[in-house]
Structure 1
């Protein structure tokens, strides 16, 4: 099971949209996907309609070590896409983990239960520095950080997300290395010259970094992503073909490229998708 946390210490960069759509395309490709919503504002938990909702969720998983799938895993209307609901609206988990001896390693120690059941676990996190965010990162094989092409977002990346990852380096002494970081340019309007400048600067900044890489895939600022969220559908189902008169890629092609870049082992099954599956 691959574990990917979608992270940023800055809110409003599109973490939930990326997690929901990445999970949707992987599930439609035939993979078994589990979404874990660790954001106290449960946007991911309400993105897709549910076939079955459990009473327990992320709070019971983390606070009580409850791993029984029948009690904590809800099923969405997307075949192959399951969800652990966010149910910590009062933010109690951060306080609990802060005082627990295994706080930052709690999730990592619980994941073996889910490995036989799923191909990938996608974790949506809070848009702020927290123990909960650190726990998610330390449980992950890969951290994916959406970044919008604006100067403030680029500055926050350095003083927020990158600083956090650096401060997790001491866990290497326990045999736990912070995961490699992939930066995803999101909500990109390719018309603006300052957008192109920031994108170029980010790529140049991290061109020689071994653990940090700016992905080649770029998520455009398109109404299709808003429409998909309104409909509760993966965006690749909403825009499966290029619009007439537009040379840029469709949402299906964009999400395929992202999935393949993150999971090259699944290139064949993801690239073979060309339509909406029957649920």
Structure 2
């Protein structure tokens, strides 16, 4: 199972919107997709129409060892897309995990036991670099960073990259950065173009070619409990996320060819 953490310690950069719509797009291609909501705000869960009453088990229970992946998973209305929802209990998980053995590997250990059930797993991280995000980075093979096209876009990115290096050195040497996705792009704003150019000059091919525009339909969709790709698949935001999913698939590790059977 391919595991990708979607992280940026800055809030309001379109991280959860990216997680929901990429997961939907990947499921639409036929990939069995698991989305893990690791943000105490639970916006990814709400955005997929998972009410609080339906969250019998959550990512909190998963981290505390009180539920398995199979027990915590919820089927969404999107075919082939499952989610492990978040509840407010998750906000206390970092304190509760302080004295727990292998506290940085709790998510990895839980996912290792469920390897064959899904093709790909996306983890929506909270807007911080705390223990929840560390768990996601330890469990993942790669990192996708949504980056807002605004003046302070690169502020804090160096801190995130430093954290990635520390995770590589101490816990997960295989962790790589799959790419940076530029979000909230506004063609009417010249500053947006300047920021996008600066980011590409700094990070080169790490930056996806696709940019996600500012789009009202992307903002409206969560209030209906639907991904934008289902709420309005023809809007510019949905089309951009479908294109981003195609780019992401192109960067995924290719499966090793099966040895030919002897005649």
TM-score past 0.5 threshold: yes
Matching residue of 1:198: 195
**Structure 2 CA distance for partners of 1:176 and 1:107, relative to 1, 3 Å:** farther
C-alpha distance in 1 between matches for 2:18 and 2:126: 14
For each residue in 1:59-108, what CA deviation from the matched residue of structure 2 results, as whole angstroms up to 9, or x when unmatched? 11111163251x21111121211111112436221123333331112212
Q: 1:180 aligns with which of 177, 181, 203?
A: 177
Match of 2:38 in 1: 38
Residue matched to 2:230:
237
Contact 1:58 1:88 in 2 (8 A): no
Tell me the distance in 2 between the aligned counterparts of 1:5 and 1:185. Answer: 16
CA distance in 2 between partners of 1:223 and 1:68 (Å): 34
CA distance in 2: counterparts of 1:188 and 1:68, whole angstroms: 36
How far did residue 124 of structure 1 move? 0.7
Displacement of 1:132 in angstroms is: 1.1
**Are the aligned partners of 1:137 and 1:143 in contact in 2 as well (CA < 8 Å)?**
yes
When residues 190 and 167 of structure 1 are mapped into structure 2, their CA distance, relative to the original with a 3 A threshold, is: same
Task: In structure 1, list runs of 5 or more residues that go unmatched.
Answer: 243-249, 267-279
Partner Cα separation in structure 2 for residue 263 and residue 239 of structure 1 = 22
Counterpart for residue 254 of structure 1: 240
Cα separation, partners in 2 of 1:11 and 1:265, compared to 1, 3 Å: closer
Residues 198, 175 of structure 1: alpha-carbon distance in 2 compared, 3 angstrom cutoff = closer
Is the Cα–Cα contact under 8 Å of residues 218 and 238 in structure 2 kept in the other structure? Answer: no
**Cα gap change, 1:41 to 1:252, in 2 (>3 Å):** closer
1:274 alignment partner in structure 2: none
Q: 5+ residue gaps in structure 2?
A: 253-263
Whether the aligned pair in 1 keeps the contact of 2:6 and 2:144 (CA below 8 Å) is yes
Contact persistence 2:141–2:174 (CA under 8 A): no
| Deviant stretches of 4+, over 6 Å | none
> Which residue in the other structure is 2:164 paired with?
165
Question: Aligned partners of 2:182, 2:218: CA distance in 1, in Å?
Answer: 15
Change (3 A) 1:252 1:10: closer
